[in-house]
Amino acid sequence: MSYKRILTIQDISCVGQCSLTVALPVISACGVETCVLPSAVLSTHTGGFSGFTFRDLTEDMPAIRAHWQKEGIKFDAIYTGYLGSTKQIGYVADVFDNCGKEGALKIVDPAMADNGKLYYGFDMEFVAAMRGLCARADYVVPNLTEACFLTGIEYREKYDRAYIEELLRALTALGCPNVIFTGVSYAEGKTGVVVYEKGEYSYYEHEMLANSCHGTGDIYASAFVGALMRGKCAYDAARIAADYTLECIRVTAEQDNHWYGAAFEPALPKLIELLK
């Protein structure tokens, strides 16, 4: 198997087990060279911490891209996570255009909303820019709220398969042919992942654990990307990522007062096992 090189673009929270501090080790554990383009540096993530520091790296992004281009550095895949502004989305689109090898995969996690609401600091201008970035992608990995904002379809807490399929058709109509739709629940106590690939629907259902953790979306998307780059089909990559994320949540529940993130590191052997 060829040794793949992937670029991931998102912020880095120095403490908090999310964004780049998740993506770099998780994708690396999948046996893939993982390069990074930090969009910002924070002392901690913003969920539950106060007084955190923030360093915006937006204006560094074009110079980094230009240096890579000068050096002839190209990537087999480009995966984006949390992006802090519409300007950053524009710079990422430039990276898409100039830093991928021929046929490079582009995977977008439109990390901007949850529980029916946009994250703090985002507005509909940001949503419109993210919609344009998703149109350039080969795979998008939204949750229900993000799918609704991207498509303009009303958010529902209770839904059926027909509603999910309506969202999937609307998402692919944006221009991206494949959707990995997380957190889709059709039965009490169960949740799962929908894989919508070139118009074909498949669903991987698993148990819904009572506890939740910061950063599990980043863990899931990173594990999916890593498995995909190891040659797994989209459905198998989605299944592996789901099983690994569940294991991370279980391990976290065994820790005392581990409220700020998911203990993904002790579960990495599980991910490697799932990849075999």
10-residue block means of pLDDT along the chain (276 residues)? Answer: 92 95 98 97 90 94 97 98 95 96 97 94 96 98 97 96 97 97 94 95 92 90 98 98 96 92 96 96
Enumerate the β-bridge partners of residue 77. 6, 105
List the CATH number of the domain containing 120.
3.40.1190.20
What is the structure's pLDDT at 1? Answer: 65
Three-class SS state of 84: coil
What is the structure's pLDDT at 114? Answer: 93
Q: 265 is written with which tokens?
A: 């590191």
What is the structure's pLDDT at 13? Answer: 94
How many H-runs (helices) and E-runs (strands) does the chain carry? Answer: 9, 11
CB neighbours of residue 154 within 10 Å: 8
What is the structure's pLDDT at 66? Answer: 96
Given a contact cutoff of 8 angstroms between Cβ atoms, the answer to whether 21 and 12 are in contact is yes
Enclosing domain of residue 159: 5-275
- Indicate the pairing of strand 54-56 with strand 33-44: antiparallel
What's the predicted TM-score (pTM) here? Answer: 0.96
Q: 9 is written with which tokens?
A: 């673009």
**Amino acid residing at 106:** K
Which residue reads 């609307």 in tokens?
Answer: 170
Angle (nearest 5°) at CA 65 between 60 and 67: 95
Q: Domains in the chain: how many in total? A: 1
